[in-house]
Amino acid sequence: MTADLDLDRLRQERTRMTSFGDNAQAHTEQLREFRRIEFDMGVPAARVPLRRRVERFPYVPADPERRDERCAEVYDIQVQGLTKRLAATGLKKVVIGISGGLDSTQAALVAVRTFDRLGLPRGTSWATPCPDSAPAAHVRQRARAHEGARISSEEIDIRAAAQLMLERIGHPAATGKRVYDVTYENVQAGERTSHLFRLANLHGGLVLGTGDLSELALGFTTYGVGDHMSHYNVNSSVPKTLIQHLIRWLVRTRQFDDRTITVLDRIVNTRISPELVPGSGQEPSIRPRPWSARTSCRTSTSTT
């Protein structure tokens, strides 16, 4: 007899089912009542296929009709959650860090529909692209995304702030060396998040989180003042693969105007990347300044 056994699933169930310990102890005490038969079983030379089908995207229904239903339900839950949060806080503005990627795009679309439902002008949601190491074409793409959705926006250049931090901690990239490690990436992600919170203070808004469930579960975030922090995150329960299908569903069902649909279609077909380091043949956007780190610190202090 053969059967498929999901050992990871069994292990997870045993951590949740509190009766397992009691049953294990009872069976241990009554072990003499069981008959044990020992045998050796060789591993088959040929590959043994699973009896059940494992879908490529386990969180997304394979059936197109069920998938559309799931997408509509998830999108509505996201909108309803943000609607409740804004109503509870009394805030009428949100601040979103738009990168032009899937997650921030989905968060912006949820905000747009929420403001429509609340009867608020879309202009009260702020999209803030922060130029970093992303290619110029991608920066233009993300700008067109919020323009098409009629979201107010401002562009904040964080390169000077990121350069100053690199200089102060003595990172090699501060002097022009091509060292693009996790510190280099996290300096940018941290600066972006810090700016978003201060903008929320300035405009009396709520920082809308964009990180998805896949990133949060795997820890693929910048810990501390980073992209896992927000006042409210609409994507925290949605895995990355489902985010892709949500945007495709919005495109296919023509939820927005033609210009926005065109931009969304381009975004959903862009390769997923955090884009915190220069790509092949691309010059770094964070460049060393012609003066020393010591001088820049004094200048920064006096300016502040």
What six digits make up the tokens of 169?
Answer: 């901690």
Q: Do residues 68 and 246 lie in contact, with contact meaning Cβ atoms separated by under 8 Å?
A: no
pLDDT at 290: 45
Q: For residue 210, give both structure tokens.
A: 């964009």
Contacts of 141 (CB under 8 A, 6+ apart): 100, 263, 266, 267, 270
Give the pairing of strands 125-127 and 94-96.
parallel
* Predicted local confidence at residue 65, as pLDDT: 92
pLDDT attached to residue 282:
55
Q: Please tell me the predicted confidence (pLDDT) of residue 242.
A: 92
pLDDT for the residue 287: 59
pLDDT along the chain (304 residues), means of 10: 86 81 72 75 78 81 91 96 95 86 90 91 65 53 56 78 93 91 90 91 92 89 84 94 92 88 85 67 56 30 28
pLDDT value at residue 59: 79
Domain limits of the chain? 64-294
How much is the pLDDT for 56?
82
Q: How many C-beta atoms lie closer than 10 Å to residue 208's C-beta?
A: 28
Element (H, E) at 195: helix 182-203
List Cα–Cα distances, 169 to 163, 172, 183, 184, in angstroms: 10, 9, 10, 11
Instruction: Give dist(CA 105, CA 109) in Å, integer.
Output: 6
Q: What is the pLDDT of residue 30?
A: 62
Q: Which of 161, 105, 108 is nearest to 130 (CA)?
A: 161
How far apart are the C-alpha atoms of 79 and 255, rounded to whole Å?
14
Global pTM exceeds 0.75: no
Half-sphere exposure at residue 253, Cβ-oriented, CA atoms within 13 angstroms: 15
The CATH T-level fold of domain 64-294 is Rossmann fold (3.40.50)
Amino acid symbol at 108: A
